[in-house]
Each structure stands twice: as C-alpha cells, then as structure tokens.
C-alpha cells in the first residue's frame, strides 16, 4: 500500500491548487456547468422553503447538478477524513499557534479545533458566534455578493471578470478585519 | 441518471479540499494572520490553472463531452459584491469555511458544522427575503 501511504501525507499547495483549478474545465467539459458552490444554498431554499419570495421562484430542478456536486463534496470529505489521513497533527505556523494559545486553542490533532467545533458548544455563546452568526454571515454574504470563493475567486478570476476581483478583494478585507481585530476580541469575551 | 457524474466530480473535489487542508480553520487563521503561504499558494495555483484551462477551451473551441458548445456567462457588477463580500469575509474567518468546505468539514466527521450549514442556508434565505430592500 505504498500509494495509499503516499497520498495520506498532506498535499503540497501546488498539487492541491492544480487539482482545485482543474475543477473549472472538468465541470465545463462534463456539461457546460460554471463552477460555483454557494448557489447550492439558494437551490436548497428554493426547494424547501420558497415562501413565495421571488428570489426563490425558479426551476431549481434544472440546477440539480449543483446539489449532486455538494453531496459529492460531503462524501469526498468522509472518504478523505476517514481513510486518507496520516494521523499526524496539522502543522501550523508558530506565530499563529502562539496567538491561538491566547484564545484557548491548543489541540492540533484534527483539521478543526475541538475546543470550538464540538456539539457541547452548540447551546453556548461560543456556539452562537461560531456556528450560528458565522454561518449566517457566510450564507447572507455569499448570496449578496453573488458567489463565494469558488464562483468568484476561482471561476470568476479564471474568466478574468473584474467584478469577481472586487468581490475577492472584499472577501479578503473582511477576513483580515475578522481574524485580526474581531476574533481576538470575541475570544476575550467568550473565554 | 445524468447527474451522477457531478456526484463523482464532487467526491474528487471534496477529497482534494480535505487533503489541501483548505477546509481547516487553522489554515484560514494563518492566511488572514499572514503567517503562512499555504492558502495563497493553493488559491493562486488554482486561478492560474483555471485561466489557462479557460483560454485553451476558448482558443480551440473545445466542446462538452456531449458535443455541445461551452460558454461562460460574464459577471455583472453590483454593490453586493462589496457589501456581501465584506460580510462573507468576516464569516469566512469565524467559521473557517466558505460554502464548499462546510460540506467537506461535515463529511470529515465534524457533524456540528451541520449547524453552521443550516445557519448559512438561513442566511441565504434572509438575503432572498430582504433583496428588494438592499442596495445593489
């Protein structure tokens, strides 16, 4: 099982980036589909709770490929998470580790810190901030922006669309503000 | 079922997201704290690969596997890309995920991220309900 051992190591950024970028032509070749994931959230709304809102009144079944694609991501996450990991701690930059320690985050055994991402936090202030408010911002923000990292930053930039460059710069600006000013403050309040 | 191919493509993409570690909350903190090149390398390589692929498809008028022409709709600008983009950025750093990685995080076993996903669906719904009142 040399091959399995080989792919169980963390992948180099160039290999990962190449494979993510190839998703763009693969979806076009499979059926002229534009790479974009946040649309799936809109289709779920249209399918389950359209509530007579015009934004959700369209034939979502025509876009069902997108729902199959995200179901695949879930399945791929399961396969990679359960069979393709080498069991070592994730290697995080020392400066970030020092900063996360002040947040009370010390466990690097998985891709996400269990100090935050565990069921016991759901009905706490931490859960409200990291799951509910964070999720609302992701869903509201991506739809308002008309796309997310996949639709704008990868598909849009690949197609040299300047509105996607504006969106990407705003994603990054929001993230820099959040990670450097907001999150430290949130942890001070939550811990 | 003609959609099964997208399930397969999604599965490969999900595996790549996990192995690239771009679904990791830690990698997102590093990216925004400017302490690691990893995320910039991944996204940069992906964009360059995408640009080259699209140029080849356009230059050689490559068709889909069913022989249909390939066309990509242009993006039109509105103020949502600024306001929505900033809000999403704030949420990206908090959750450590954009929409795709939410599905992958759940798959790896962090089932609690299902709460985040439901909140993201609710956020999308709220946008739909408020859309006529928001600046665009």
Residues 6+ apart with CB under 8 A from B105: A77, A111, A112, A117, B23, B96, B97, B113
Query: Given the structure tokens 């609690």, which residue do they identify?
Result: B112
B90 in contact with A at a CB cutoff of 8 Å? yes
Rounded CA separation B70/B65 (Å): 10
**Residue range B27-80, pLDDT digits in tens:** 999 999 999 999 999 999 999 999 999 999 999 999 999 999 999 999 999 999
**pLDDT tens by residue, B74-132:** 999 999 999 999 999 999 999 999 999 999 999 999 999 999 999 999 999 999 999 99
Structure tokens at A123: 């009905």
pLDDT at residue A191 in the model? 86
Give the chain A residue nearest B118 (alpha carbons).
A135
Q: Where are the domains of chain A?
A: 1-85, 116-190
Map residue A65 onto helix, strand or coil.
helix
Q: Select the residue from B59, B112, B117, B122 to test the A interface by mutation, using most A Cβ atoms within 10 A.
A: B112
Say whether A11 and B46 touch across the interface (CB within 8 A): no
Report whether pLDDT(A64) > 90.
yes
Residues 109-148, chain A, touching B (beta carbon < 8 A) = 110-113, 116-119, 121-122, 127, 129-148
Q: How far is B24 from chain A (nearest CA, A)?
A: 5
What is the mean predicted confidence (pLDDT) over A44-71?
A: 97
State the average pLDDT for chain A.
Answer: 97
pLDDT of residue A118 exceeding 90, the answer is: yes
pLDDT reported for residue A2:
87
Among residues A123, A63, A153, which one has the least CA distance to residue B89?
A: A153
A177: nearest CA in chain B? B90
Query: Helix/strand/coil (H, E, C) string of A161-189?
Result: CHHHHHHHHHHHHHHHHHHHHHHHHHHHH
Given this model, what pLDDT does residue A19 score?
A: 98
| Model pLDDT, residue B2 | 87
Please give the residue of chain A at the shortest CA–CA distance from B100: A37
pLDDT at A51 over 90: yes
**Measured between alpha carbons, how far is residue B46 from residues A96, B17, B60 in Å?**
25, 12, 21
Give the other-Cβ count within 10 Å of A127's Cβ. 22
Q: Return the pLDDT at B20.
A: 97
pLDDT confidence of residue B130: 98
Interface contacts A/B by beta carbons within 8 Å: 516
* pLDDT for the residue numbered B29: 98
Is 90 exceeded by the pLDDT of residue B1? Answer: no
Q: Helix axis angle, B113-130 relative to A134-145, nearest 10°?
A: 40
The alpha carbon of A14 is separated from its chain's Cα centroid by a whole number of angstroms, namely 19
Note the pLDDT of residue A12: 97
Q: Is A181 on the interface with B (CB under 8 A)?
A: no
pLDDT score of B52: 98
Q: What is the pLDDT of residue A85?
A: 95
Q: What is the pLDDT of residue A152?
A: 97
Contacts of A94 in chain B (CB under 8 A): 35
Locus of tokens 């795709």? B100
Respond yes or no on whether ipTM tops 0.90.
yes
What span, in angstroms and rounded, lies between the C-alpha atoms of B97 and A139?
11
Name the residue with tokens 């015009």.
A54
Q: Which of A18, A59, A62, A27 is nearest to A151 (CA)?
A: A27
* Cβ proximity of A111 and B24 under 8 Å: yes
- What is the per-residue pLDDT across A29-49, written as a single tens digit (0 to 9) for each? 999 999 999 999 999 999 999
B90 contacts A175 by C-beta, under 8 angstroms: yes
Facing residue for B121 by CB, picked from A74, A95, A139:
A139
From the CA of B23, how many Å to the nearest CA of chain A?
7
* Res A67 pLDDT > 80: yes
- From the candidates A136, A153, A157, A166, which should be mutated to test the interface with B, based on the most B CB atoms within 10 A? A136
pLDDT at residue A143, rounded to an integer? 98
The model's pLDDT over A78-111, given as tens digits with 9 standing for 90+, comes to: 999 999 999 999 999 999 999 999 999 999 999 9
CA distance B73 to B70: 10
Chain A neighbors of B114, CB-CB under 8 A: none
Is the model's pLDDT at A184 over the cut of 90? Answer: yes
User: Is residue B14 scored above 80 in pLDDT?
Assistant: yes
User: Look-up: residue for tokens 């946040």?
Assistant: A38
Rounded to whole angstroms, the Cα distance separating B85 from A141 reads 6
Please check whether residue B115 is in contact with residue A136, taking contact to mean a CB–CB distance below 8 angstroms. no
Q: Does A16 touch chain B (CB under 8 A)?
A: yes
Indicate the SS3 state at residue B63: strand
> Distances in Å between the alpha carbon of B12 and those of A73, A143, B54, B104?
7, 25, 20, 11
What CA–CA distance (Å, rounded) separates B45 from A93? 21
Residue B55: closest CA among chain A residues belongs to which residue? A159
């Amino acid at each position: 099982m040399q091959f399995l051992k080989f792919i169980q190591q963390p992948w180099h950024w160039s290999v990962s980036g190449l494979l993510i970028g190839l998703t763009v032509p693969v979806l076009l070749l499979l059926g002229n589909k534009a790479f974009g994931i946040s649309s799936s959230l809109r289709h779920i709304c249209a399918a389950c709770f359209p509530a007579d809102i015009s934004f959700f009144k369209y034939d979502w079944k025509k876009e069902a490929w997108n729902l199959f694609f995200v179901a695949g991501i879930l399945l791929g996450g399961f396969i990679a998470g359960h069979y393709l990991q080498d069991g070592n701690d994730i290697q995080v930059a020392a400066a970030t580790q020092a900063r996360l320690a002040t947040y009370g985050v010390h466990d690097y055994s998985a891709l996400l810190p269990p100090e935050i991402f565990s069921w016991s936090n759901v009905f706490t202030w931490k859960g409200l901030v990291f799951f509910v408010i964070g999720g609302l911002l992701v869903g509201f923000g991506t739809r308002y922006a008309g796309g997310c990292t996949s639709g704008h930053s990868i598909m849009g930039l690949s197609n040299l669309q300047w509105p996607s460059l504006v969106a990407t710069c705003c994603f990054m600006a929001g993230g820099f503000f959040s990670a450097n000013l907001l999150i430290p403050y949130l942890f001070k309040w939550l811990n | 079922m003609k959609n099964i191919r997208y399930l397969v493509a999604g599965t490969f993409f999900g595996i790549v997201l996990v192995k690239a570690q771009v679904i990791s909350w830690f990698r997102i903190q590093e990216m925004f704290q400017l302490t690691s090149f990893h995320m910039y390398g991944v996204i940069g390589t992906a964009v360059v690969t995408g640009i080259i692929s699209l140029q080849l498809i356009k230059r050689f008028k490559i068709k889909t596997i069913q022989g249909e022409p390939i066309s990509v709709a242009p993006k039109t600008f509105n103020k949502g890309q600024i306001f929505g983009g900033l809000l999403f950025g704030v949420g990206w750093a908090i959750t450590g995920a954009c929409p795709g990685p939410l599905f992958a995080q759940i798959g790896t076993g962090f089932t609690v991220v299902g709460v985040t996903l439901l909140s993201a669906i609710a956020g999308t719904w709220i946008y739909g309900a408020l859309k006529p009142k928001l600046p665009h």
